[in-house]
Chain A
Amino acid sequence: MLESEYQEHNRFFLNMGPQHPSTHGVLLIVLEMEGEYVLDPQPVLGFIHRMHEKMGESRPCQGFMPNTARMDYVCALPYNHGYVSLIERKAGIEVPKRAEYIRVITSELNRIASHLLWLGAYLLDLGAFTPILYGFDDREHILDILESITGSRLTYCYYRFGGVYQDIDDTFIAATRAFVKRLRKRYSIYEKLVTKNIIFIKRTENIGIVSPDMALRYGMTGPNLRGSGIAYDVRKNEPYSVYPEFDFEIPVGGQGDCLDRYMVRVKEIEQSLRIIEQALDRLPDGPIRAKVPKNIKVTPGDCNFAVEAARGELSYYLVGDGTSTPYRLKVRVPSYSNLSCLPELGRGILLPDLVSILGSFDLVIPEIDR
Protein backbone atom coordinates (compact mmCIF):
# COMPACT_ATOMS: atom_id res chain seq x y z
CA MET A 1 0.00 0.00 0.00
CA LEU A 2 1.35 3.41 -0.97
CA GLU A 3 1.87 5.92 1.80
CA SER A 4 -0.67 8.32 0.30
CA GLU A 5 -3.24 5.52 0.09
CA TYR A 6 -2.50 4.63 3.67
CA GLN A 7 -3.09 8.22 4.71
CA GLU A 8 -6.29 8.42 2.73
CA HIS A 9 -7.45 5.21 4.35
CA ASN A 10 -6.77 6.50 7.85
CA ARG A 11 -8.65 9.77 7.53
CA PHE A 12 -11.87 10.09 9.46
CA PHE A 13 -14.28 12.72 10.69
CA LEU A 14 -14.87 13.47 14.34
CA ASN A 15 -17.71 15.58 15.68
CA MET A 16 -16.54 17.66 18.61
CA GLY A 17 -19.71 18.95 20.18
CA PRO A 18 -22.35 20.33 20.18
CA GLN A 19 -22.36 18.82 23.68
CA HIS A 20 -18.62 18.63 24.22
CA PRO A 21 -17.60 20.11 27.60
CA SER A 22 -14.68 22.11 26.21
CA THR A 23 -16.79 23.95 23.65
CA HIS A 24 -18.48 25.84 26.53
CA GLY A 25 -21.93 25.91 25.07
CA VAL A 26 -23.45 24.45 21.98
CA LEU A 27 -20.71 24.68 19.38
CA LEU A 28 -20.00 21.89 16.93
CA ILE A 29 -16.58 21.52 15.37
CA VAL A 30 -16.29 18.98 12.59
CA LEU A 31 -12.74 17.71 12.64
CA GLU A 32 -11.09 15.95 9.76
CA MET A 33 -8.57 13.74 11.53
CA GLU A 34 -5.66 11.55 10.72
CA GLY A 35 -4.79 9.60 13.80
CA GLU A 36 -4.46 12.13 16.59
CA TYR A 37 -3.73 15.00 14.22
CA VAL A 38 -6.36 17.51 13.16
CA LEU A 39 -6.23 18.26 9.45
CA ASP A 40 -9.18 20.60 9.12
CA PRO A 41 -11.34 21.88 11.96
CA GLN A 42 -14.59 23.51 10.75
CA PRO A 43 -16.82 25.17 13.35
CA VAL A 44 -20.57 24.81 12.76
CA LEU A 45 -22.51 27.68 14.33
CA GLY A 46 -26.09 28.61 14.94
CA PHE A 47 -27.34 26.10 17.52
CA ILE A 48 -28.58 28.89 19.78
CA HIS A 49 -29.19 31.54 17.19
CA ARG A 50 -32.03 33.80 18.38
CA MET A 51 -31.87 36.64 15.81
CA HIS A 52 -31.21 39.42 18.30
CA GLU A 53 -30.65 41.83 15.42
CA LYS A 54 -34.22 41.32 14.20
CA MET A 55 -35.53 41.88 17.72
CA GLY A 56 -33.47 45.06 17.81
CA GLU A 57 -35.27 46.50 14.80
CA SER A 58 -38.79 45.39 15.74
CA ARG A 59 -39.30 47.21 19.05
CA PRO A 60 -38.58 50.67 20.45
CA CYS A 61 -34.94 51.07 21.43
CA GLN A 62 -35.61 50.71 25.20
CA GLY A 63 -37.07 47.28 24.53
CA PHE A 64 -33.74 45.90 23.37
CA MET A 65 -32.01 46.52 26.72
CA PRO A 66 -32.69 43.03 28.18
CA ASN A 67 -31.42 41.44 24.95
CA THR A 68 -28.01 43.04 25.40
CA ALA A 69 -27.40 40.90 28.50
CA ARG A 70 -28.37 37.69 26.76
CA MET A 71 -25.67 37.62 24.14
CA ASP A 72 -22.59 37.45 26.35
CA TYR A 73 -24.14 36.29 29.60
CA VAL A 74 -20.75 35.93 31.31
CA CYS A 75 -19.88 39.61 30.96
CA ALA A 76 -23.19 41.36 30.35
CA LEU A 77 -22.55 44.85 31.69
CA PRO A 78 -20.19 46.00 28.90
CA TYR A 79 -22.95 44.94 26.50
CA ASN A 80 -25.37 47.16 28.44
CA HIS A 81 -22.74 49.89 28.31
CA GLY A 82 -22.24 49.74 24.56
CA TYR A 83 -25.92 49.88 23.79
CA VAL A 84 -26.84 52.76 26.11
CA SER A 85 -23.80 54.71 24.92
CA LEU A 86 -24.81 54.14 21.31
CA ILE A 87 -28.30 55.54 21.86
CA GLU A 88 -26.86 58.37 23.95
CA ARG A 89 -24.46 59.29 21.15
CA LYS A 90 -27.29 59.15 18.60
CA ALA A 91 -29.74 61.18 20.69
CA GLY A 92 -27.10 63.53 22.12
CA ILE A 93 -27.80 62.69 25.77
CA GLU A 94 -25.32 63.95 28.36
CA VAL A 95 -24.70 61.41 31.15
CA PRO A 96 -24.00 62.58 34.74
CA LYS A 97 -20.46 61.92 35.91
CA ARG A 98 -21.52 59.81 38.89
CA ALA A 99 -23.47 57.50 36.60
CA GLU A 100 -20.43 57.02 34.36
CA TYR A 101 -18.28 56.18 37.39
CA ILE A 102 -20.83 53.61 38.57
CA ARG A 103 -20.90 52.14 35.07
CA VAL A 104 -17.13 51.79 35.02
CA ILE A 105 -16.99 50.20 38.49
CA THR A 106 -19.70 47.65 37.71
CA SER A 107 -18.34 46.90 34.22
CA GLU A 108 -14.86 46.24 35.59
CA LEU A 109 -16.26 44.00 38.35
CA ASN A 110 -18.09 42.07 35.66
CA ARG A 111 -14.90 41.80 33.59
CA ILE A 112 -13.05 40.29 36.57
CA ALA A 113 -15.91 37.83 37.13
CA SER A 114 -15.67 36.82 33.47
CA HIS A 115 -11.89 36.33 33.64
CA LEU A 116 -12.19 34.26 36.83
CA LEU A 117 -14.81 32.03 35.26
CA TRP A 118 -12.61 31.65 32.18
CA LEU A 119 -9.57 30.81 34.28
CA GLY A 120 -11.39 28.01 36.06
CA ALA A 121 -13.03 26.68 32.93
CA TYR A 122 -9.81 26.75 30.90
CA LEU A 123 -7.94 24.77 33.51
CA LEU A 124 -10.85 22.35 33.66
CA ASP A 125 -10.45 21.84 29.89
CA LEU A 126 -6.79 21.04 30.45
CA GLY A 127 -7.66 18.47 33.08
CA ALA A 128 -7.14 20.41 36.33
CA PHE A 129 -10.23 20.37 38.47
CA THR A 130 -9.21 22.48 41.48
CA PRO A 131 -8.78 26.00 39.98
CA ILE A 132 -12.45 26.29 39.02
CA LEU A 133 -13.40 25.90 42.69
CA TYR A 134 -11.13 28.79 43.67
CA GLY A 135 -12.31 30.83 40.68
CA PHE A 136 -15.96 30.31 41.51
CA ASP A 137 -15.34 31.15 45.15
CA ASP A 138 -13.96 34.57 44.19
CA ARG A 139 -16.51 35.12 41.45
CA GLU A 140 -19.33 34.43 43.91
CA HIS A 141 -18.34 37.57 45.85
CA ILE A 142 -18.66 39.69 42.69
CA LEU A 143 -22.05 38.20 41.87
CA ASP A 144 -23.25 39.00 45.41
CA ILE A 145 -22.00 42.58 45.12
CA LEU A 146 -23.59 43.11 41.71
CA GLU A 147 -26.82 41.41 42.79
CA SER A 148 -27.20 43.91 45.63
CA ILE A 149 -27.53 46.84 43.21
CA THR A 150 -28.66 45.36 39.90
CA GLY A 151 -31.09 42.76 41.19
CA SER A 152 -29.73 39.97 39.03
CA ARG A 153 -26.75 37.68 39.18
CA LEU A 154 -26.02 37.06 35.53
CA THR A 155 -28.16 38.76 32.89
CA TYR A 156 -27.89 42.33 34.14
CA CYS A 157 -30.10 45.09 32.81
CA TYR A 158 -28.78 47.83 35.05
CA TYR A 159 -27.82 50.75 32.81
CA ARG A 160 -30.43 53.13 31.50
CA PHE A 161 -30.32 55.74 28.74
CA GLY A 162 -28.78 58.73 30.49
CA GLY A 163 -27.55 56.91 33.60
CA VAL A 164 -28.07 53.82 35.73
CA TYR A 165 -31.13 52.24 37.34
CA GLN A 166 -30.26 52.99 40.97
CA ASP A 167 -27.52 54.57 43.03
CA ILE A 168 -24.83 52.59 44.83
CA ASP A 169 -24.79 52.75 48.62
CA ASP A 170 -22.14 52.50 51.36
CA THR A 171 -22.67 48.76 51.68
CA PHE A 172 -21.79 48.34 48.01
CA ILE A 173 -18.67 50.48 48.34
CA ALA A 174 -17.51 48.66 51.48
CA ALA A 175 -18.14 45.25 49.91
CA THR A 176 -16.26 46.23 46.74
CA ARG A 177 -13.27 47.52 48.70
CA ALA A 178 -13.22 44.32 50.74
CA PHE A 179 -13.33 42.30 47.55
CA VAL A 180 -10.40 44.20 46.00
CA LYS A 181 -8.36 43.46 49.12
CA ARG A 182 -9.40 39.81 49.14
CA LEU A 183 -8.60 39.13 45.48
CA ARG A 184 -5.09 40.60 45.79
CA LYS A 185 -4.39 38.15 48.59
CA ARG A 186 -5.49 35.28 46.38
CA TYR A 187 -2.96 35.96 43.58
CA SER A 188 -0.30 33.84 45.27
CA ILE A 189 -2.71 30.89 45.38
CA TYR A 190 -3.39 31.12 41.66
CA GLU A 191 0.27 31.58 40.92
CA LYS A 192 1.32 28.48 42.86
CA LEU A 193 -1.59 26.43 41.61
CA VAL A 194 -1.63 27.40 37.94
CA THR A 195 0.87 29.90 36.54
CA LYS A 196 3.99 28.05 37.69
CA ASN A 197 2.57 24.58 37.18
CA ILE A 198 4.83 22.68 34.80
CA ILE A 199 1.99 20.60 33.32
CA PHE A 200 0.03 23.75 32.58
CA ILE A 201 3.03 25.40 30.92
CA LYS A 202 3.67 22.31 28.77
CA ARG A 203 0.07 22.36 27.60
CA THR A 204 0.08 26.05 26.65
CA GLU A 205 3.56 27.23 25.69
CA ASN A 206 4.23 27.51 21.92
CA ILE A 207 0.75 26.23 21.14
CA GLY A 208 -1.71 28.08 18.92
CA ILE A 209 0.52 30.97 17.92
CA VAL A 210 -1.47 33.87 16.45
CA SER A 211 0.70 36.22 14.40
CA PRO A 212 -0.13 39.94 14.20
CA ASP A 213 -0.92 39.65 10.48
CA MET A 214 -3.30 36.78 11.13
CA ALA A 215 -5.03 38.78 13.86
CA LEU A 216 -5.52 41.64 11.39
CA ARG A 217 -6.93 39.43 8.65
CA TYR A 218 -9.47 37.89 10.99
CA GLY A 219 -10.25 41.04 12.97
CA MET A 220 -9.24 39.56 16.31
CA THR A 221 -9.53 41.82 19.34
CA GLY A 222 -9.33 41.68 23.11
CA PRO A 223 -6.93 39.56 25.18
CA ASN A 224 -6.55 37.15 22.24
CA LEU A 225 -5.03 39.97 20.20
CA ARG A 226 -3.03 41.47 23.07
CA GLY A 227 -1.44 38.07 23.64
CA SER A 228 0.23 38.58 20.25
CA GLY A 229 1.89 41.74 21.47
CA ILE A 230 -0.45 44.38 20.01
CA ALA A 231 -1.56 46.84 22.69
CA TYR A 232 -5.02 47.47 21.31
CA ASP A 233 -7.73 48.08 23.88
CA VAL A 234 -10.86 50.09 23.07
CA ARG A 235 -10.72 51.64 26.55
CA LYS A 236 -7.41 53.29 25.60
CA ASN A 237 -7.54 53.44 21.83
CA GLU A 238 -11.07 54.78 21.48
CA PRO A 239 -11.72 56.19 24.95
CA TYR A 240 -15.37 56.13 26.02
CA SER A 241 -17.16 56.87 29.28
CA VAL A 242 -14.70 58.11 31.95
CA TYR A 243 -11.90 55.64 31.20
CA PRO A 244 -9.41 58.40 30.22
CA GLU A 245 -9.51 59.63 33.83
CA PHE A 246 -7.98 56.46 35.20
CA ASP A 247 -4.42 55.28 35.27
CA PHE A 248 -4.14 51.70 34.03
CA GLU A 249 -1.96 49.66 31.73
CA ILE A 250 -2.66 47.40 28.80
CA PRO A 251 -0.87 44.11 29.44
CA VAL A 252 0.49 42.49 26.28
CA GLY A 253 2.05 39.11 25.56
CA GLY A 254 4.97 38.20 23.36
CA GLN A 255 4.56 35.59 20.66
CA GLY A 256 0.80 35.00 20.91
CA ASP A 257 0.58 31.44 22.18
CA CYS A 258 -1.97 30.08 24.67
CA LEU A 259 0.28 30.94 27.62
CA ASP A 260 0.50 34.59 26.50
CA ARG A 261 -3.27 34.82 26.28
CA TYR A 262 -3.50 33.34 29.77
CA MET A 263 -0.97 35.80 31.20
CA VAL A 264 -2.69 38.79 29.58
CA ARG A 265 -6.01 37.93 31.24
CA VAL A 266 -4.43 37.32 34.63
CA LYS A 267 -2.67 40.69 34.45
CA GLU A 268 -5.88 42.36 33.31
CA ILE A 269 -7.57 41.36 36.54
CA GLU A 270 -5.08 43.52 38.45
CA GLN A 271 -5.61 46.45 36.06
CA SER A 272 -9.38 46.21 36.51
CA LEU A 273 -8.87 46.26 40.29
CA ARG A 274 -6.79 49.43 39.91
CA ILE A 275 -9.55 51.10 37.89
CA ILE A 276 -12.15 50.12 40.51
CA GLU A 277 -10.01 51.48 43.36
CA GLN A 278 -9.44 54.82 41.61
CA ALA A 279 -13.11 55.12 40.70
CA LEU A 280 -14.21 54.43 44.29
CA ASP A 281 -11.72 56.99 45.61
CA ARG A 282 -12.89 59.71 43.27
CA LEU A 283 -16.58 58.83 43.05
CA PRO A 284 -18.32 62.19 42.51
CA ASP A 285 -21.64 63.18 44.07
CA GLY A 286 -24.60 64.16 41.98
CA PRO A 287 -27.49 62.71 40.06
CA ILE A 288 -27.31 59.21 38.62
CA ARG A 289 -29.60 59.73 35.69
CA ALA A 290 -30.15 62.53 33.21
CA LYS A 291 -33.64 63.60 32.21
CA VAL A 292 -34.41 61.81 28.98
CA PRO A 293 -37.63 61.68 26.98
CA LYS A 294 -39.71 58.57 27.55
CA ASN A 295 -39.79 57.79 23.87
CA ILE A 296 -36.35 58.38 22.40
CA LYS A 297 -36.46 59.10 18.67
CA VAL A 298 -33.61 57.64 16.67
CA THR A 299 -32.73 60.33 14.16
CA PRO A 300 -32.04 59.31 10.53
CA GLY A 301 -28.50 58.21 9.83
CA ASP A 302 -26.09 55.56 10.99
CA CYS A 303 -23.92 55.50 14.07
CA ASN A 304 -21.30 53.17 15.51
CA PHE A 305 -20.22 52.68 19.11
CA ALA A 306 -17.47 50.34 20.27
CA VAL A 307 -16.65 49.24 23.81
CA GLU A 308 -14.15 46.78 25.25
CA ALA A 309 -16.01 43.70 26.43
CA ALA A 310 -14.19 40.94 28.31
CA ARG A 311 -13.49 39.14 25.04
CA GLY A 312 -12.63 42.09 22.84
CA GLU A 313 -14.16 44.85 20.79
CA LEU A 314 -17.93 44.97 20.81
CA SER A 315 -19.42 47.30 18.19
CA TYR A 316 -23.02 48.30 17.89
CA TYR A 317 -23.90 49.72 14.48
CA LEU A 318 -27.26 51.40 14.26
CA VAL A 319 -29.20 52.85 11.34
CA GLY A 320 -32.00 55.17 12.41
CA ASP A 321 -35.01 56.39 10.44
CA GLY A 322 -36.51 59.07 12.69
CA THR A 323 -38.88 56.79 14.63
CA SER A 324 -38.19 55.36 18.10
CA THR A 325 -37.45 51.93 16.61
CA PRO A 326 -34.01 51.38 15.06
CA TYR A 327 -34.17 50.66 11.34
CA ARG A 328 -31.21 48.32 11.57
CA LEU A 329 -29.08 47.20 14.49
CA LYS A 330 -25.92 45.25 13.82
CA VAL A 331 -24.04 43.77 16.76
CA ARG A 332 -20.40 43.03 16.07
CA VAL A 333 -19.33 40.54 18.72
CA PRO A 334 -15.67 39.78 19.53
CA SER A 335 -15.85 35.98 19.87
CA TYR A 336 -17.25 35.63 16.34
CA SER A 337 -14.13 37.11 14.77
CA ASN A 338 -11.83 35.45 17.30
CA LEU A 339 -13.15 31.96 16.57
CA SER A 340 -13.15 32.44 12.80
CA CYS A 341 -9.38 31.91 12.65
CA LEU A 342 -9.70 28.35 14.01
CA PRO A 343 -9.66 26.58 10.60
CA GLU A 344 -6.31 28.22 9.84
CA LEU A 345 -4.86 27.99 13.34
CA GLY A 346 -5.92 24.43 13.98
CA ARG A 347 -4.52 22.83 10.84
CA GLY A 348 -2.07 20.00 11.47
CA ILE A 349 -2.05 20.13 15.26
CA LEU A 350 -2.75 17.49 17.89
CA LEU A 351 -6.30 17.12 19.15
CA PRO A 352 -5.42 17.95 22.79
CA ASP A 353 -3.76 21.15 21.53
CA LEU A 354 -6.96 22.12 19.78
CA VAL A 355 -8.78 21.83 23.10
CA SER A 356 -6.12 24.04 24.64
CA ILE A 357 -6.50 26.66 21.88
CA LEU A 358 -10.28 26.68 22.10
CA GLY A 359 -10.08 27.19 25.85
CA SER A 360 -7.53 29.98 25.55
CA PHE A 361 -9.86 31.90 23.20
CA ASP A 362 -12.42 32.34 25.99
CA LEU A 363 -15.42 31.69 23.76
CA VAL A 364 -18.99 32.45 24.74
CA ILE A 365 -21.22 30.70 22.24
CA PRO A 366 -24.50 32.63 22.74
CA GLU A 367 -22.51 35.72 21.81
CA ILE A 368 -21.27 34.14 18.58
CA ASP A 369 -24.67 32.82 17.54
CA ARG A 370 -26.64 35.84 18.73
Chain B
Amino acid sequence: MAKKPKDYKEDFLHQGFDATETDYNQRGYHLEVVLNVNQVRKFAQTAYDLGFYIVFVAGLHVRPEEGQDKGNSGLEVVYQFARYDQLYRIKGLVSVPNTLEIPSISDIYQGADWHERETRDLYGVVFDGHPNMKPLLLSEEDPDFHPLLKEEAKLKSLDEVSWSTEAPEVKKGKAEAETDR
Protein backbone atom coordinates (compact mmCIF):
# COMPACT_ATOMS: atom_id res chain seq x y z
CA MET B 1 0.00 0.00 0.00
CA ALA B 2 2.92 2.30 0.66
CA LYS B 3 4.13 1.94 -2.92
CA LYS B 4 2.84 4.36 -5.47
CA PRO B 5 -0.06 2.69 -7.29
CA LYS B 6 0.76 1.70 -10.83
CA ASP B 7 -1.42 2.77 -13.73
CA TYR B 8 -2.08 -0.10 -16.13
CA LYS B 9 -3.58 1.94 -18.97
CA GLU B 10 -0.36 1.92 -20.98
CA ASP B 11 -0.04 -1.85 -20.68
CA PHE B 12 -3.42 -2.35 -22.29
CA LEU B 13 -2.96 0.37 -24.92
CA HIS B 14 0.37 -1.19 -25.78
CA GLN B 15 -1.36 -4.48 -26.53
CA GLY B 16 -3.67 -2.71 -28.96
CA PHE B 17 -6.78 -2.40 -26.79
CA ASP B 18 -9.24 0.48 -26.81
CA ALA B 19 -8.68 1.45 -23.19
CA THR B 20 -10.09 4.58 -21.56
CA GLU B 21 -9.32 5.87 -18.12
CA THR B 22 -12.43 6.46 -16.00
CA ASP B 23 -13.21 8.42 -12.86
CA TYR B 24 -12.91 5.91 -10.02
CA ASN B 25 -14.88 7.98 -7.52
CA GLN B 26 -17.83 8.06 -9.86
CA ARG B 27 -17.78 4.57 -11.34
CA GLY B 28 -15.82 2.35 -8.97
CA TYR B 29 -13.36 1.12 -11.60
CA HIS B 30 -10.29 2.69 -13.18
CA LEU B 31 -10.08 1.48 -16.75
CA GLU B 32 -12.69 0.63 -19.34
CA VAL B 33 -11.65 -1.57 -22.25
CA VAL B 34 -14.02 -1.93 -25.19
CA LEU B 35 -13.31 -5.19 -26.97
CA ASN B 36 -14.33 -6.90 -30.16
CA VAL B 37 -15.00 -10.61 -30.13
CA ASN B 38 -11.54 -11.56 -31.38
CA GLN B 39 -9.80 -9.65 -28.58
CA VAL B 40 -11.52 -11.35 -25.63
CA ARG B 41 -8.95 -14.07 -25.12
CA LYS B 42 -6.01 -11.74 -25.62
CA PHE B 43 -7.57 -9.37 -23.09
CA ALA B 44 -7.89 -12.13 -20.48
CA GLN B 45 -4.36 -13.34 -21.18
CA THR B 46 -2.98 -9.81 -20.79
CA ALA B 47 -4.84 -9.38 -17.49
CA TYR B 48 -3.52 -12.74 -16.27
CA ASP B 49 0.04 -11.94 -17.27
CA LEU B 50 -0.17 -8.63 -15.43
CA GLY B 51 -1.34 -10.45 -12.29
CA PHE B 52 -5.01 -9.46 -12.14
CA TYR B 53 -7.58 -11.73 -10.50
CA ILE B 54 -11.02 -12.34 -11.93
CA VAL B 55 -13.91 -10.57 -10.21
CA PHE B 56 -16.84 -11.56 -12.38
CA VAL B 57 -18.23 -12.11 -15.87
CA ALA B 58 -21.78 -10.86 -16.41
CA GLY B 59 -24.22 -10.11 -19.20
CA LEU B 60 -26.22 -7.07 -20.20
CA HIS B 61 -29.19 -6.90 -22.58
CA VAL B 62 -29.64 -3.72 -24.62
CA ARG B 63 -31.49 -2.74 -27.78
CA PRO B 64 -29.42 -3.71 -30.86
CA GLU B 65 -28.06 -0.74 -32.74
CA GLU B 66 -30.28 0.19 -35.67
CA GLY B 67 -28.79 0.94 -39.04
CA GLN B 68 -25.72 -1.08 -38.20
CA ASP B 69 -25.16 -4.38 -39.90
CA LYS B 70 -27.17 -7.29 -38.61
CA GLY B 71 -24.24 -8.75 -36.71
CA ASN B 72 -25.36 -7.28 -33.40
CA SER B 73 -27.48 -9.33 -30.99
CA GLY B 74 -27.95 -6.62 -28.37
CA LEU B 75 -26.21 -8.71 -25.74
CA GLU B 76 -23.09 -7.42 -24.05
CA VAL B 77 -20.71 -9.28 -21.80
CA VAL B 78 -18.93 -7.43 -19.00
CA TYR B 79 -15.64 -8.67 -17.53
CA GLN B 80 -14.13 -7.27 -14.38
CA PHE B 81 -10.61 -7.86 -13.12
CA ALA B 82 -8.87 -6.38 -10.08
CA ARG B 83 -5.60 -6.65 -8.19
CA TYR B 84 -4.63 -8.08 -4.82
CA ASP B 85 -1.66 -5.77 -4.30
CA GLN B 86 -3.14 -2.38 -5.09
CA LEU B 87 -6.42 -0.68 -5.83
CA TYR B 88 -7.03 -1.05 -9.56
CA ARG B 89 -10.14 -2.39 -11.30
CA ILE B 90 -10.61 -2.88 -15.01
CA LYS B 91 -13.80 -3.47 -16.91
CA GLY B 92 -13.96 -5.16 -20.28
CA LEU B 93 -17.02 -4.82 -22.48
CA VAL B 94 -17.72 -6.91 -25.55
CA SER B 95 -20.73 -6.99 -27.87
CA VAL B 96 -21.96 -10.48 -28.61
CA PRO B 97 -22.52 -11.17 -32.34
CA ASN B 98 -25.75 -12.61 -33.73
CA THR B 99 -24.44 -16.15 -33.51
CA LEU B 100 -24.53 -15.62 -29.70
CA GLU B 101 -21.06 -17.11 -29.51
CA ILE B 102 -18.02 -15.55 -27.94
CA PRO B 103 -14.73 -17.22 -26.98
CA SER B 104 -14.44 -18.71 -23.52
CA ILE B 105 -11.67 -17.59 -21.19
CA SER B 106 -12.17 -20.50 -18.80
CA ASP B 107 -8.81 -22.05 -19.70
CA ILE B 108 -6.97 -18.85 -18.78
CA TYR B 109 -9.02 -18.01 -15.70
CA GLN B 110 -10.56 -21.27 -14.46
CA GLY B 111 -12.80 -19.20 -12.21
CA ALA B 112 -14.57 -17.87 -15.32
CA ASP B 113 -15.99 -21.36 -15.86
CA TRP B 114 -18.95 -20.86 -13.53
CA HIS B 115 -19.41 -17.20 -14.42
CA GLU B 116 -19.69 -18.13 -18.11
CA ARG B 117 -22.15 -20.92 -17.39
CA GLU B 118 -24.21 -18.50 -15.33
CA THR B 119 -24.20 -15.97 -18.18
CA ARG B 120 -25.40 -18.69 -20.55
CA ASP B 121 -28.21 -19.51 -18.10
CA LEU B 122 -29.36 -15.94 -17.69
CA TYR B 123 -28.78 -14.55 -21.21
CA GLY B 124 -28.16 -17.41 -23.61
CA VAL B 125 -24.64 -16.35 -24.59
CA VAL B 126 -22.68 -19.44 -25.62
CA PHE B 127 -19.02 -19.47 -24.72
CA ASP B 128 -17.07 -21.17 -27.47
CA GLY B 129 -14.43 -23.54 -26.17
CA HIS B 130 -15.96 -23.94 -22.73
CA PRO B 131 -15.55 -27.56 -21.58
CA ASN B 132 -18.92 -27.91 -19.90
CA MET B 133 -21.56 -25.46 -21.19
CA LYS B 134 -24.41 -26.95 -19.14
CA PRO B 135 -26.96 -25.05 -17.03
CA LEU B 136 -25.50 -24.18 -13.63
CA LEU B 137 -27.98 -22.16 -11.59
CA LEU B 138 -31.08 -22.94 -13.63
CA SER B 139 -32.81 -26.21 -14.39
CA GLU B 140 -31.30 -28.54 -16.99
CA GLU B 141 -34.81 -29.37 -18.18
CA ASP B 142 -35.38 -25.97 -19.77
CA PRO B 143 -32.04 -24.78 -21.15
CA ASP B 144 -33.68 -22.18 -23.42
CA PHE B 145 -35.23 -20.13 -20.63
CA HIS B 146 -33.15 -17.00 -20.03
CA PRO B 147 -34.71 -14.88 -17.27
CA LEU B 148 -32.60 -11.75 -17.63
CA LEU B 149 -33.50 -11.12 -21.28
CA LYS B 150 -35.73 -8.02 -21.30
CA GLU B 151 -38.98 -7.49 -23.14
CA GLU B 152 -38.74 -5.48 -26.34
CA ALA B 153 -40.56 -2.50 -24.77
CA LYS B 154 -38.17 -2.30 -21.84
CA LEU B 155 -34.98 -2.42 -23.88
CA LYS B 156 -32.74 0.62 -24.02
CA SER B 157 -29.82 1.25 -26.27
CA LEU B 158 -26.27 0.99 -24.98
CA ASP B 159 -25.89 4.77 -25.20
CA GLU B 160 -28.89 5.31 -22.93
CA VAL B 161 -27.38 3.20 -20.18
CA SER B 162 -23.81 4.49 -20.51
CA TRP B 163 -22.11 7.48 -18.96
CA SER B 164 -22.45 10.26 -21.47
CA THR B 165 -20.53 13.38 -22.20
CA GLU B 166 -23.58 14.93 -23.89
CA ALA B 167 -25.40 17.96 -22.55
CA PRO B 168 -27.85 17.09 -19.76
CA GLU B 169 -30.98 18.27 -21.61
CA VAL B 170 -30.48 15.56 -24.26
CA LYS B 171 -30.55 12.91 -21.55
CA LYS B 172 -33.65 14.47 -20.02
CA GLY B 173 -35.56 14.20 -23.27
CA LYS B 174 -34.72 10.51 -23.51
CA ALA B 175 -35.77 9.84 -19.93
CA GLU B 176 -39.16 11.47 -20.50
CA ALA B 177 -39.79 9.38 -23.56
CA GLU B 178 -39.40 6.27 -21.41
CA THR B 179 -41.78 7.27 -18.62
CA ASP B 180 -44.93 6.17 -20.46
CA ARG B 181 -44.06 2.50 -20.21
A-to-B contact residues, CB < 8 Å: 45-46, 49, 51, 53-54, 57, 86, 89, 215-220, 225, 230, 232, 236-238, 300-306, 313, 315, 317, 319-323, 327-328, 330, 332, 336-337, 340-341, 344, 369-370
Quote the shortest CB–CB distance from B170 to chain A (angstroms): 11
Can you pick out 14 interface pairs between chain A and chain B where the beta carbons lie within 8 Å of each other?
A49-B137, A86-B28, A216-B48, A217-B111, A219-B109, A237-B86, A238-B87, A302-B78, A306-B82, A323-B179, A332-B55, A337-B111, A341-B110, A370-B137
Quote the shortest CB–CB distance from A31 to chain B (angstroms): 16
Q: At the interface, yes or no: B51 with Cβ under 8 Å from chain A?
A: yes
A302 near B162 with CB under 8 A, answer: yes
Inter-chain CA distance A302–B174, complex, in Å, is 17
Choose one: A216, A303, A322; the contact of B27 (CB below 8 Å).
A303
Q: Which residues of A contact B113 (CB under 8 A)?
A: 340
A315 near B56 with CB under 8 A, answer: yes
Q: At the interface, yes or no: B34 with Cβ under 8 Å from chain A?
A: no
Q: At the interface, yes or no: B42 with Cβ under 8 Å from chain A?
A: no
A330 near B56 with CB under 8 A, answer: yes
Inter-chain CA distance A321–B113, complex, in Å, is 30
Q: At the interface, yes or no: B26 with Cβ under 8 Å from chain A?
A: yes
Known: A304-B91, A323-B175. 6 other contacts (CB 8 A): A45-B114, A53-B122, A238-B87, A321-B178, A327-B161, A330-B78
Q: How many A-B residue pairs have CB under 8 A?
A: 133
Inter-chain CA distance A344–B78, complex, in Å, is 25
B139 near A302 with CB under 8 A, answer: no
Q: At the interface, yes or no: B167 with Cβ under 8 Å from chain A?
A: no
| Chain B, residue nearest A216 (CB) | B53
Q: Which residues of B contact A302 (CB under 8 A)?
A: 27, 78, 91, 161-163
**Chain A proximity mask over B67-83: 1 for CB below 8 Å, otherwise 0:** 00000000000101010
